[in-house]
Amino acid sequence: MKKPSLQGILENLIFVWLGLGLILSIPSNSVFFPDWLQVLGRAHPLILHFPIVLLLMGFLLFWMPQKSELKKITELVILIGINFAGLTVLAGLILAREDYEGSEILWHQWAGIIVFLGSVLLYFFRKKSPTFNKAFGVILALGLVATGHWGANLTHGENFLLAPLKPDDLPKPSLSEAEVFRDMVQPILEAKCQSCHREGKVKGELRMDHLEGIQKGGKSGPFVVAGDLENSLMTQRISLPTEDKKHMPPKNKSQLSDEELSILKEWVRAGAAFDQKVTEIDSTSPLFQIATLQFSEEKTYSFSPVSQELVQSLNNYYRSVKPIHPESPALEVSYFGISAFDPTSLDDLKMIKEQLVHLNLNKMPLEGVDLSFLNDFPNLERLKLNFTGLSSGQIQQLEGLKNLRQLSLAGNSINQDGISILENLGDLSHLYLWQTGLDELQKERLRKSLKSTQIDFGFEGTGIVYELNPPKISQNKSLFSDSLEITLSHPIQSVQIRYTLDESEPDSIQSPVYSVPIWVKNSGKLKARVFAQGWKGSPTQSTVFLKSGIIPELYELKSDPNPRYKAQGSKTLFDQVKGKNNHTSGEWLGFQDSPLDLEFSIGNNQKIGSLELSLLYHEGAYIFPPSKVEILYWENGKWNSMIQKSPEPSDKIRDPRSELLKFNLGDKAFEKLKVRVFPIASLPSWHPGSGAKGWVFIDEILLN
Amino acid sequence: MEKEILEQGLNLNRRKFLSRLSLGLGSAALGSLLVPDLFSGKNPAEDALLNALPHFAPKAKRVIYLFQNGAPSQLETFDYKPLLNKNFGEELPESIRMGQRLTGMTSGQASFPLVGSYFDFQQYGESRAWISSLFPHTASIVDDICIVKSMHTEAINHDPALTFFQTGAQVGNRPSMGSWLSYGLGSENSNLPAFCVLLSKGKGNGQGVYSKLWSNGFLDATHQGVQFSNSEDPVLYLKDPKSMSRDERRKMLDQIAAMNDLSYREFNDPEITAKVQQYEMAYRMQTAVPEITDVSKEPDSIIKLYGPDCLVPGTYAANCLLARKLSESGVRFVQLYHQGWDAHDNLPNQMIGQAKDVDQASAALITDLKQRGLLDETLVIWGGEFGRTNYCQGKIQVENYGRDHHPRAFSIWMAGGGVKSGMVYGETDDFGYNITENPVHVHDFQATILHLMGIDHERLTYKHLGRRYRLTDVSGKVVKDIIT
Mean pLDDT of A285-290: 79
B341, B68 in Cβ contact below 8 A? Answer: yes
Write the CB contacts of A355 (distance below 8 Å, at least 6 apart in sequence): A303, A305, A306, A329, A330, A331, A379
- Separation between Cα atoms, residue A549 and residue A612, nearest integer Å: 9
Residue A559 region by backbone torsions, left for phi larger than 0, else alpha for psi between -120 and 50, else beta: beta
Predicted pLDDT at B37: 45
DSSP secondary structure letters along B374-440: -GGGEEEEEE-SSEE-SBPBSS--SS--B--EE-S-EEEEEEETTBPSSEEE-EE-TTSSSEEE--E
Nearest in space to B64 (alpha carbons), one of B472, B374, B483: B374
Q: Is B112 exposed, middle or buried (0-12, 13-18, 19+ CB in 10 A)?
A: buried
Most confident segment among A220-224, A281-285, A625-629: A625-629
Write the CB contacts of B196 (distance below 8 Å, at least 6 apart in sequence): B225, B226, B227, B228, B326, B331, B333, B334, B335
- Give long-range contacts, CB 8 A cutoff, 24+ apart: A83-86: A83/A10, A83/A13, A83/A14, A83/A17, A84/A47, A84/A50, A84/A51, A84/A54, A85/A17, A85/A51, A85/A55, A85/A112, A85/A115, A85/A116, A85/A119, A86/A13, A86/A14, A86/A16, A86/A17, A86/A18, A86/A21, A86/A116
What is chain A's length? 704
* Average pLDDT, rounded, for chain A: 87
Query: What is the residue type of A15?
Result: F
Find the CB nearest B57 among A296, A460, A620.
A296
Predicted pLDDT at A249: 87
Most confident segment among A363-377, A688-702, B334-348: B334-348
Give residue A678's Cα distance to chain centre: 61
- Separation between Cα atoms, residue B231 and residue A72, nearest integer Å: 98
pLDDT above 90 as % of chain B: 64
Mean pLDDT of A296-320: 85
Find the CB nearest A435 among B188, B299, B303.
B299
Answering whether pTM is above 0.90, one says no
Residues of A whose CB is below 8 A from B54: 325-326
CB atoms within 10 A of CB A199: 17
Residues of B whose CB is below 8 A from A463: none
At residue A67 the predicted structure's pLDDT band, cuts being 50, 70 and 90, is confident
pLDDT above 70 as % of chain A: 96
The verdict on B400 touching A (C-beta cutoff 8 Å) is: yes
pLDDT in tens, B56-65: 889 999 999 9
Nearest in space to B75 (alpha carbons), one of B88, B62, B66: B88
User: What is chain B's alpha carbon radius of gyration, rounded to the nearest angstrom?
Assistant: 28
The answer for A 512-541 residues in CB contact with B (under 8 A) is 535, 538
Which H or E element spans position A544? strand A541-547
The verdict on B114 touching A (C-beta cutoff 8 Å) is: no
The verdict on B328 touching A (C-beta cutoff 8 Å) is: yes
The answer for A 385-414 residues in CB contact with B (under 8 A) is 386, 406, 408, 410
Predicted pLDDT at B40: 43
What is chain B's length? 484
pLDDT in tens, A428-482: 999 999 999 999 999 999 999 998 899 999 998 888 888 888 899 998 877 888 8
pLDDT in tens, B268-314: 888 888 888 888 888 888 888 888 888 888 888 999 999 988 988 89
Report in angstroms the alpha-carbon separations of A567 from A552, A571, A600, A697. Answer: 19, 9, 19, 11
Write the CB contacts of A508 (distance below 8 Å, at least 6 apart in sequence): A496, A498, A529, A531, A537
CA A555-A559-A565 angle, to 5 degrees, is: 95
DSSP secondary structure letters along A350-369: GGGTTTEEEEE-TT---TT-
The verdict on B345 touching A (C-beta cutoff 8 Å) is: yes
Find the CB nearest B304 among A293, A334, A461.
A461
Predicted pLDDT at A127: 85
DSSP at A523 = S
Task: Reduce the DSSP state of residue B463 to 3 states and report it.
Answer: strand
For A618, list phi and psi in degrees, rounded to 5: -160, 90
pLDDT in tens, A341-356: 999 999 999 999 999 9
- Separation between Cα atoms, residue B381 and residue B228, nearest integer Å: 19
The verdict on A586 touching B (C-beta cutoff 8 Å) is: no
DSSP at A183 = I
Which H or E element spans position A607? strand A607-617
Q: Evaluate if residue A274 carries a pLDDT over 90.
A: no
Q: Which residue has the higher pLDDT, B412 or A546?
A: B412
pLDDT in tens, B139-185: 999 999 999 999 999 999 999 999 999 999 999 889 999 999 999 99
* A486-513 core/surface letters (b: 16 or more CB in 10 A; e: else): bebebbbeebbbbbbbeeeebeeeebee
User: What is chain A's alpha carbon radius of gyration, rounded to the nearest angstrom?
Assistant: 50
- Separation between Cα atoms, residue A628 and residue B476, nearest integer Å: 62
In DSSP terms, which residues pair with A457 in a beta bridge? Answer: none
Predicted pLDDT at B42: 45
Residues of A whose CB is below 8 A from B53: 326
**Chosen from A175, A176, A296, A469 to mutate, greatest number of chain B CBs within 10 A:** A469
